[in-house]
Amino acid sequence: MLAKDFLFTSERVLQGHTGAVNALTFALNGSELASSSKDGSLIIWDSLSGKLKSHFTFTSSILSLAWGPWRSYCLYVGCLDGTLAIIEDLEKHCEMLAVNSVLTGIKAPVFSLAVEEYNGDIAVALGSEIHIAQALQSGKCVTSKIFPPPKDLPLMEEQLDKRVHGRAVAFMDNRNLLVVAYLYRGIMCWDTSSFEQRWQINPIHSHQITYCPRSRHAALSFDTKRIALMNLGDGVDIYLLGKSYPDLWIKNRPASQDQNVPVQVSWLFNGAAVVSSSSGGDVRIWASSSGELLQSLEHKGKTSFCLCQAFEYPSGTMIAAGASKMAHDAYIKIWQNKIDSKIFRYQEAQLMAW
């Protein structure tokens, strides 16, 4: 694998938030990037130019974002105070936003959201509960299913914090399955009709960490065969579905114990690479077959990148990383690789065959 075929370069810095960046997500076609902050601000950016297109303000810190299905141009917004909103007009600039809402029946932090891209079902990690909401003819969305709490893991007796928190959700198999990564309780795959547990991953790490409101520390691969999990100890573990011992263990230790917080992981190049932010400041990219460190995207200063998202365009790949240590340092940094990712996938296949 040749580094010159892979290198990302810094493209631009996006500034507009006055608080720590809590969530980042690219639109399904990659044309826009949505970002949200602890200060309650939501910004829609033009992904390619970096231009600020829209700015909205909520009364609560925004923890999670998800774009609507292909047929609808909307954005779902989850807040610390339990607000779960749907923004359908993304062209406006609003200080105090009046929007449609998702009716869940409880008020709790909305830690994570996922939207089934064709029928529009919404999976919500809401406080200690996992919901699926569906749209009504009136345009409102309402909870239709609530999943049972997960079972304790064998090492739960060692945990100081025994609360149930779903921190990442993803649909599989045409919405028939829902994968939930829980803080302290591993990863579970639920049958969305019967509520039966199809499989479970019991991570080898005990996940003793300081509580953090924002976390998307697990990511399902593009082919839905692997899960990358920030193990909240010393790196990223890659698991095959249903297996409780990592297929690959990538070392990415926090700079210090007090910086051991959940950080985001994502997949690159159709699953050939994994990208992870770090509490120490760098964004790192590894080959997902060997664990080889391919590139470390560095920045100057003391700001920590706890969030990162990637999108693959026909002409290259873009990575957005949200800086989230101190309010006055809040910004989003964009890196881009303009080399065709097919080169990387070919080299990765050659490496695996070798």
What is the biggest distance separating any 2 CA atoms in the chain, rounded to whole angstroms? 58
The count of C-alpha atoms lying within 13 angstroms of the C-alpha of 229, restricted to the half-sphere facing its C-beta, is 36
**Does the CA dihedral 18-21-22-23 come out positive or negative?**
positive
- Radius of gyration over every alpha carbon of the chain, rounded to an integer in angstroms: 19
For the cut 60, the answer to whether the pLDDT of residue 101 exceeds it is: yes
**Does the CA dihedral 62-66-67-71 come out positive or negative?**
negative
Whole-number Å distance between alpha carbons of 126 and 148: 13
Neighbours of 89 (CB within 10 A): 11
Q: Average pLDDT for residues 11-20, to the nearest whole number?
A: 90
pLDDT in tens, 199-231: 999 887 655 444 444 556 789 998 999 999 887
Q: Which residue pairs from 256-259 have beta carbons closer than 8 angstroms and sit at least 24 positions apart in sequence? A: 258/210, 259/304
CA angle (100 as vertex; 179, 173 as ends), nearest 5: 20
pLDDT in tens, 237-295: 999 998 988 999 888 766 555 555 667 888 998 899 999 877 666 788 999 999 999 99
pLDDT in tens, 42-90: 999 999 999 999 999 999 999 999 998 877 788 999 999 999 998 887 8
To which residue do tokens 């047929």 refer? Answer: 71
Give me the residue spans of the domains in the chain. 3-353
Whole-number Å distance between alpha carbons of 165 and 183: 6
Are 125 and 213 in contact, with CB atoms under 8 Å apart?
A: no
How far is residue 12 CA from its own chain's centroid?
21
To which residue do tokens 């105090």 refer? Answer: 96
To which residue do tokens 């990208």 refer? Answer: 275
Bigger pLDDT: 206 or 194? 194
- pTM reported for the whole predicted model: 0.86
CATH number listed for the domain at residues 3-353 = 2.130.10.10
Average pLDDT of the chain is 81
**120: region left, alpha or beta (phi > 0 left; psi from -120 to 50 alpha):** left
To which residue do tokens 């997949």 refer? Answer: 267
